[in-house]
Amino acid sequence: MKPQEKGIRPEKLAMEAEIIENFSDAVYLIVADYSGMDMPTTTAFKDSLRENGAKFSVVKNRMLARTMSAETHDLLTGQSAMIYGNGDIVEVAKVIKNFRKENSKPEIKGGVVEGKKINADEVDQLAKLPSKEILYAMLLGTLQAPMSQLVGVMNNKLSSLVYVLEAVRNKKEN
């Protein structure tokens, strides 16, 4: 019988449904090669990701290929694990980068962020971005700058008027 005629075993359908359920809510998915990571290292990595709202799951490439678009199938070589979540991708990328500095594992292959394919270099670039709080502060400073400058200019004009009036008063007194 051909594979199309046999159908898919129920346990594989369940695994596929679980991957689809996890991936459907995720804003980002990063595919990593976890080979060479022992259990304590993997557990430490999962814990550090969990603190930032991300999850780490080991999946079969065939199962992951069924749920991902064809353009991302080149990421599915070797042993694959998915790092996914719906929180701040920048913080997760920083966690991955810091963990890799200490352990040189896992090897990032690439991923998908908000439907757009990214490569391993782009994940490193995300790790270099400032956090959301810092970006918000920078935006707020940019928005406040014109108002602060306007207040400064108005204050200088008022001071100039006071100096002129003071000079006129001094001249009339003398």
Per-residue HEC secondary structure of 3-65 comes to HHHHCCCHHHHHHHHHHHHHHHHCCEEEEEECCCCCHHHHHHHHHHHHCCCEEEEEECHHHHH
Number of domains in the chain: 2
Q: Which residue range is the domain that position 161 belongs to? A: 130-174
**Is the model's pTM score more than 0.85?**
no
* pLDDT higher than threshold 80 for residue 134: yes
- Asked if residue 106 and residue 64 are part of one domain, the reply reads yes
Q: What is the mean pLDDT of residues 18-23?
A: 75
- Domain of 92, CATH number, reads 3.30.70.1730
- Asked if residue 105 and residue 141 are part of one domain, the reply reads no
Q: How confident is the model at residue 74 (pLDDT cuts 50, 70, 90)?
A: low
Tell me which of 111, 129, 147 is where a domain ends: 129
- Asked if residue 70 and residue 156 are part of one domain, the reply reads no
pLDDT in tens, 47-67: 888 888 888 888 777 777 777
Q: What's residue 4's pLDDT? A: 52
